Amino acid sequence: MLQFITIGILLVVISATPSKAQVGADGIDHGTTGTLNLDYFNGTNDPHIAWLKGDQDTNHTKPLITAFGQGDLKRTRVELEWILTHFINHPQALAIAGSFAVLIKNPTWAVPYFEKALSIYPQYAVTHAQYGKYLTDIGMVDRGLEKLKKAAEMDPKLVGAQVWLAAAYAKSGNADLARESAEKARSLGFKGDLAAYGVR
């Protein structure tokens, strides 16, 4: 029994300790950058990554969603920090991080997490879009618009980017561009109420 416990502890330590020389499929030396196995969108068949993703989903993402829903900010922060250390571009955790920052009255708390995710994995439109929405939500509308435009340019079919772009334009007072983005969102299948995003 002691052997199984020791092996379990070693697996946890190994999974949390970046290798000193491991270049991922993305060409990044994750040992140097400290981002071993951290691309949430990586489609690799590496069993270690699959195990770590399964572990974080069961033991961290679900508890994060539960804690945040129950208003347990201490547990929310613990889970956010774990997930965004191990999967820096985890979309659910980044979305909650933005809302968490507003709740704790430290609106820029999530900025370093988004910046790190985009500095290492800039190729995902969804991360740019999430960051743009978050920046807009905390009043940094011009920076938010930059990120949202980038996301829409990278993936013109990303519905969320168009919805959040419409909201950002509305917040900036540009009703014409807000309507234009809203129309794009609807043409891509968005059925929600854009008035909830400030778009008339």
Residue 173 lies in a domain: yes
Query: Full-prediction pTM beyond 0.85?
Result: no
Number of structural domains found in the chain? 2
Q: Return the CATH number at 164.
A: 1.25.40.10
pLDDT at 197: 79
Q: Are 125 and 154 in contact (CB under 8 A)?
A: yes
Residue 104 lies in a domain: yes
Residue 39 lies in a domain: no
What average pLDDT does range 56-81 have in this prediction? 90
Does 131 share its domain with 195?
Answer: yes
Does 71 share its domain with 134?
Answer: no
Does 147 share its domain with 97?
Answer: no
For 110-166, the pLDDT digits (tens) are 999 999 999 999 999 999 999 999 999 999 999 999 999 999 999 999 999 999 999
Domain that holds residue 197: 123-200
Q: Are 158 and 151 in contact (CB under 8 A)?
A: yes
Between 81 and 199, the higher pLDDT residue: 81
Does 102 share its domain with 164?
Answer: no
- DSSP code string of 41-66: T-----HHHHHHHHHHIIIIIHHHHH
Residue 18 lies in a domain: no
Does 130 share its domain with 194?
Answer: yes
